[in-house]
Structure 1
Amino acid sequence: MVIKRVSTLLLPTLALGLILPSCKGKTEQQQQAPELAVLTVSEENTTLESGMPTTLEGENDIEIRPQVQGFLTKVCVEEGQKVSKGQTLFVIDQVQLQAAVDAAQAAVDAAKSSVAVAQANVNTAKTNMDNNKMLLDKNIISKPAYQTSVDSYNAAVAQLNATKSQIGQAMANLTSAKRNLAFSVVTAPEAGVVGQIPYREGSLVSPQSLLTVLSNNSDMRATFALNEKDILALTDDGKRSLQDAIAKMPEVTLTLANGERYNHPGKIISISGVIDPSTGSATAKAIFPNPQGMLHSGNTGTVNIPQVKNNVMLIPQAATYEMQDMKFVYVVNDSNKVKSRSIQVADQNDGQNYIVVGGLKPGERIVTEGVGISVRDDMVITPKK
């Protein structure tokens, strides 16, 4: 009877021992099947953006240089100030320039007086010559005496002509002096924004001195580089001309240095079409309107060029990992087991997604969460719903 009682007591223990391994197996299986996000690959139409670093400049940046040498006596504007056409920017010392004008004017006045005297001498010599001609005709004076009066007249005319040439030179000197005096006031040739001003009052400046740069920033020009692959993509592998590609290109956007998108779209206006062998790229330019004057010459940013791609397989870059310059994804089979597979992607991407050109087919599923961190080959997962 004792034996029967012992057997009866052992039965629950044995049953519990059988149940516990079964529960443990189920728990381990659940732990080995983490819940992860998956994506079913499909073909779709999408627009990708390629970002190109750029430096901005005004549509018309004008270097302001003095046309005369002298000391700056007045700086009339501040850096960053908006100015109108004809507005005074700088004034150069006018004392010596005004003195040059006064001296040139005095020379003109003296030359005019000399011309008046020379003209009077010509008139007198002509009267004397005419009188002597009448006397010669009446045989009152000799021919040599008459010739003397003719020579005197010719000499007076020559002196008058020489004096007139002097007044011409004096007038030219006066015009030059007045022009230099006018150049002492440096004005804005166009409306725009004043750039850096390296010279201040008291500085000696000359025509080689860059006083500032005046930027007409109503429109801003963004210059950037396009590599050979970018150009081939824009021209459909050379099937159409650059001019045609530019004309049909959609608007581009600008990302500012702080990461924010500028709120006015732009337009690509030119692509050089000549590949620089040292850089492997061509120069492109885009124009962005700047109605609020927010953009300035020298600003940096990124020009974003959109390209429409039809019937492509697009996957997140976060769903891939790299090994030996190759890209891989984890493909999920019907049993929810994952297996790594190498794929090929297009060169162009937007920094967030890849266009798959090989290694995957529409309808296949890939893991998009934990790739390169917790996912490994032959792992069984539970796809997130």
Structure 2
Amino acid sequence: MKSKDLGNSHLGLMNNLLKKSLSFLLLIFCLNFYSCSNSNSKEKDQLILENIPVLELTAKTIEFPKTYVCEIQAVQFVEIRAKVEGYVDRIYVDEGQFVKKGQTLLQLSSLEFNEMVNSANAKLAQAQAEAQAASVEMQRLQILVEKDIISPSELELAKSKKSVAESGIVEAESMLKNAQTNLSYTTIKAPYDGIVDRFPKKTGALVTPGDLLTNITDVNEVFAYFKVTENEYLRYMRAKLEGESLTSNQDVTLILSDGEVYEYTGKLETMEADFERGTGSIAFRVRFPNPDQLIKHGASGKIQLSNQMENIFLIPQKSTFEIQDYSYVYILDKDNQVKVRSFKPLQRYGVYYIAEGFEEGDRIIYEGIQQVKDGIFVNPAMVSDKEAYDTLSSFL
């Protein structure tokens, strides 16, 4: 009997311990649940960033200046080369000097060519004398034939001799002209108004036919040649065929090698006939006035053309970040949650990127992209168009 009571007492004690253990575990679970809920609530509160500058995108139409590397050449550029052999006797002008058409630049030794002219004159005089003698002889024989003193065959022979003498005159005149021409080549004159380049052959130097003596450049106007791609050429030609506003009717801007804009504008005149095989490009030519002769032949620069782009979006550079070769912005959804968005800039426009693929009303993080990350929530502080694009006018 006592053993039975002892068992019941032990069983009751075990039940009490089990109830207390379950109550303790339930209390721990509730405390953990409350702690986790409180932690999640705090974490959610921490992910909401206040007053983050946000820009609402609007489509724009801009006149975008596009530049092309160009090669500049004088409208007239001529290499002056020797046509005869001789020594440089005298140089009459200085390098870099402006000369007029027909002005003497330098003189080659001419003694030998003077002698050739004298010899040709002598031969011409001899040929003329022989022709005169043949003419007198023919007239004398003509009288004798008429009087039947000699046969007509002798008169025919005299006429042949006269013809040979007259052809001798023609040959002698040709030799004289050739000698005079060679003599004239010893005096080098300017073919047109222009600026003299360097003289590689100095006084006393021997020159042979084909040697470069100097260059003459007329830089009152200059040509600027620049190359465009086949796609750009096709757009230009389609616009021309459709009668739209053409680049050829616009003023073309030249940017010099020091970055300064040339004060005179140019006009697009013509293009090459064929595409360059290696690059697939074709060259256009622009004429620029150069009254101050600031630009020299062989100079370099950039052609700037106005290119209108419609329905594009200007993304401020400070609103973007790059990872490898891709550009990204943070965009807000309707719940103001941040999402990462990649885009491909068409080209750069000052401190902005020109992009497509966005929609009117898209909102991007304007500033403070270092504070945000994908998935967090923000309370946006909207930035006006005027504030976002206040520097845009400096790039127009």
TM-score, length of structure 2 as denominator length: 0.72
Partner of 1:356: 355
Partner of 1:227: 229
Counterpart CA distance in 1 for 2:256 and 2:345 is 29
Counterpart CA distance in 2 for 1:77 and 1:294 is 21
Kindly report which structure 2 residues correspond to 1:73-222, keeping only aligned pairs within 5 A, or say none.
Answer: 73-133=89-149, 146-147=150-151, 150-222=152-224
Counterpart CA distance in 2 for 1:274 and 1:361 is 43
SS in 1 for 2:212: coil
Counterpart CA distance in 2 for 1:243 and 1:199 is 54
The answer as to whether partners of 1:242 and 1:273 remain within 8 angstroms in 2 is no
The answer as to whether partners of 1:342 and 1:359 remain within 8 angstroms in 2 is no
The answer as to whether partners of 1:345 and 1:358 remain within 8 angstroms in 2 is no
The answer as to whether partners of 1:51 and 1:350 remain within 8 angstroms in 2 is no
Cα gap change, 1:350 to 1:97, in 2 (>3 Å): farther
Partner of 2:74: 58
One-letter amino acid of the counterpart of residue 298, structure 2: G
Partner of 1:295: 295
Kindly report which structure 2 residues correspond to 1:308-319, keeping only aligned pairs within 5 A, or say none.
Answer: 308-319=308-319
Q: Does structure 1 residue 42 correspond to structure 2 residue 58? A: yes
Alpha-carbon deviation of 1:113? 2.1
One-letter amino acid of the counterpart of residue 355, structure 2: V
Cα gap change, 1:177 to 1:381, in 2 (>3 Å): farther
Partner of 2:25: none
Counterpart CA distance in 1 for 2:202 and 2:170 is 39
SS in 1 for 2:297: coil
SS in 2 for 1:168: helix
Larger mean CA deviation between 84-93 and 151-160 belongs to 151-160
Counterpart CA distance in 1 for 2:242 and 2:190 is 37
SS in 2 for 1:106: helix
Counterpart CA distance in 2 for 1:319 and 1:233 is 32
Equivalenced residue count is 336
Cα gap change, 1:111 to 1:276, in 2 (>3 Å): closer
Q: Which has the larger radius of gyration?
A: 2
Cα gap change, 1:350 to 1:381, in 2 (>3 Å): same
SS in 2 for 1:86: coil
Partner of 1:377: 373
1:208-261 deviations in Å (ceiling 9; x for gaps): 2233332221221111111134334545xx465499664655222111111111
One-letter amino acid of the counterpart of residue 344, structure 1: K
Partner of 2:30: none
Alpha-carbon deviation of 1:200? 2.5
Partner of 2:8: none
SS in 1 for 2:263: coil
Cα gap change, 1:281 to 1:132, in 2 (>3 Å): closer
The answer as to whether partners of 1:332 and 1:367 remain within 8 angstroms in 2 is no
Alpha-carbon deviation of 1:294? 0.5
Partner of 1:284: 284
Counterpart CA distance in 1 for 2:185 and 2:242 is 45
SS in 2 for 1:345: coil
The answer as to whether partners of 2:64 and 2:306 remain within 8 angstroms in 1 is yes
One-letter amino acid of the counterpart of residue 292, structure 1: D
Larger mean CA deviation between 262-271 and 115-124 belongs to 115-124
Cα gap change, 1:249 to 1:115, in 2 (>3 Å): closer
Counterpart CA distance in 1 for 2:278 and 2:252 is 27
SS in 1 for 2:264: coil
Counterpart CA distance in 2 for 1:99 and 1:357 is 80
Cα gap change, 1:349 to 1:220, in 2 (>3 Å): farther
Counterpart CA distance in 1 for 2:138 and 2:235 is 85
1:263-321 deviations in Å (ceiling 9; x for gaps): 11112222347443421322122111111110111111111111122343223445433
Cα gap change, 1:243 to 1:97, in 2 (>3 Å): farther
Q: Give the gaps of 5 or more residues in structure 2.
A: 1-41, 388-396
Partner of 1:69: 85
1:71-95 deviations in Å (ceiling 9; x for gaps): 2223333333222222222322211
Q: Does structure 1 residue 259 correspond to structure 2 residue 275? A: no
SS in 1 for 2:354: strand
Larger mean CA deviation between 190-199 and 239-248 belongs to 239-248
Counterpart CA distance in 1 for 2:134 and 2:336 is 116
Partner of 1:141: none
The answer as to whether partners of 1:338 and 1:381 remain within 8 angstroms in 2 is no
